[in-house]
Amino acid sequence: MTDRVCLNRSRRDVLLGGAATLLTLSRPAARGNEGASISARQALPELARQFLQDLRSPQVDDFLRSWPVAPVRRPVVPSTVPVLRWLPSALARAPVVAEPLVRGLLEASDVLAWRRSYTSSAVGDHFLDNYGWCELVGLTGERASDQLACGCLVLGPDTLYPRHRHEAQEIYVPLSGSASWGRGEGDWREAAPGAVIHHMSGEAHAMRTSLMPLLALYLWRSANLDQKSQLDP
Nearest to 51 by CA among 111, 115, 7, 112: 7
| Residue 200 buriedness (CB in 10 A; 0-12 / 13-18 / 19+) | exposed
At 121-164, the pLDDT tens digits run 999 999 999 999 999 999 999 999 999 999 999 999 999 999 99
Local structure of residue 213 (DSSP, 8 states): -
Query: What's the domain count of the chain?
Result: 1
CATH code of the domain covering residue 208: 2.60.120.10
Domain that holds residue 151: 11-231
Q: Flag the least confident range among 64-68, 73-77, 159-163.
A: 73-77
| Amino acid letter for position 189 | R
Give a yes or no: residue 63 inside a domain: yes
Of 22, 68, 15, the residue nearest 45 (C-alpha): 68
In a domain, 3, yes or no: no
Residue 42 falls within a domain, yes or no? yes
In a domain, residue 138? The reply is yes
pTM of the shown model: 0.85
Predicted local distance difference test score (pLDDT) of residue 53: 98
In a domain, 2, yes or no: no
- The confidence score (pLDDT) of residue 8 equals 38
Does residue 69 form part of some domain? yes
- Is 6 inside a domain boundary? no
Q: DSSP letter at 200?
A: -
